[in-house]
Amino acid sequence: MRIAVLASGRGSNFQSLIDASERGDLPNVDLVLLVVNNKEAKAIDRAEKHSIDWIFINHTDKERVAFDIEVMAKLDEYNVEGIILAGFMRILSKEFISNYKNRILNIHPSLLPLFPGAHAHRDALEANATKSGCTVHFVDEGVDTGSIILQKEVVVKPDDTEETLSSRILVQEHIAFPEALHLFSSNRLKITSNGVEILPP
């Protein structure tokens, strides 16, 4: 399955997919393209180091849909079949999402539906949650509302700060995302009215 990754920054989740792929854990995945909307994204260095094509598409000079159309044209050019949002700090248009219905995966640093949005760690701490974690889900038109594929839990410690909690959750993200992508690329995810069913190998 030809996969494109969309990222805006650090790209550690992108790296976890590269590493999984190089280990042979993603036998059905071909990471063909990285799209960034930030020229400074560290994800670019990771793509270069591993000889993955990348492109910067600027969003600051155009309307949301115009940006998305540009991204879609690139994805078409690369015959992309699945899209990974790995720290992509932009809301995608309805047009984009319907064009790739059930083919876009995102990772979020909380146990959704708890703590959606941009401040998941802070929100979990403010709510005195005793556990948090990460969620890989399909992307729909809402913010962090799509069908859940899998989750990993992390215990919240009484003295946790946003930094300590996020770094422990990140370790789990790097396990969860390759696992979910492997299931997706092996056609083992079935979306039902009750959520996502994981089919046997």
Length of the chain measured in residues = 201
Closest residue to ligand GRF in the complex (CB): 87
Does 59 qualify as catalytic in the annotation?
no
Q: How far apart are CA 29 and CA 16, in angstroms?
A: 13
CB of 14 to ligand GRF, least distance (A): 6
Q: Which of 4-12, 22-30, 60-68, 73-81 is the region at the interface with ligand GRF (rule: CB under 6 A)?
A: 4-12
Is 10 an interacting residue with respect to ligand GRF (CB under 6 A)?
A: yes
Is 5 an interacting residue with respect to ligand GRF (CB under 6 A)?
A: no
Paired strand residues for 33: 4, 53
**Nearest CA-CA partner of 152 in 130, 167, 174:** 174
Annotated active-site residue in 50, 59, 108, 174:
108
Is 64 an interacting residue with respect to ligand GRF (CB under 6 A)?
A: no
CB of 193 to ligand GRF, least distance (A): 27
- Choose, by CB under 6 A, the member of 82, 87, 133, 178 that binds ligand GRF: 87
Q: Which is nearer to ligand GRF, 86 or 154 (CB)?
A: 86
Q: Which is nearer to ligand GRF, 69 or 116 (CB)?
A: 116
CB of 144 to ligand GRF, least distance (A): 9
Is 11 an interacting residue with respect to ligand GRF (CB under 6 A)?
A: yes
CB of 12 to ligand GRF, least distance (A): 3
Residues 52-76 as b/e (b if ≥16 CB within 10 A, e otherwise) read bebbebebeeeeeeebbbbbbebbe
Q: How far apart are CA 36 and CA 169, in angstroms?
A: 23
Q: Position of tokens 């993603």? A: 26
- Choose, by CB under 6 A, the member of 173, 178, 183, 189 that binds ligand GRF: 173
**Nearest CA-CA partner of 103 in 43, 133, 146, 135:** 146
Q: How far apart are CA 137 and CA 107, in angstroms?
A: 7
Query: Binding-site residue total for ligand GRF (CB under 6 A)?
Result: 13
At 138, which helix (H) or strand (E)? strand 131-138
Between residue 88 and residue 127, which ones bind ligand GRF under the rule CB under 6 A? 107-109
Taking residue 185's Cβ as centre, other Cβ atoms within 10 Å add up to 19
Is residue 135 classed as helix, strand or coil in its secondary structure?
strand
* Binding site residues, ligand GRF, CB under 6 A: 7, 9-13, 86-87, 107-109, 170, 173
**Catalytic site residues?**
108
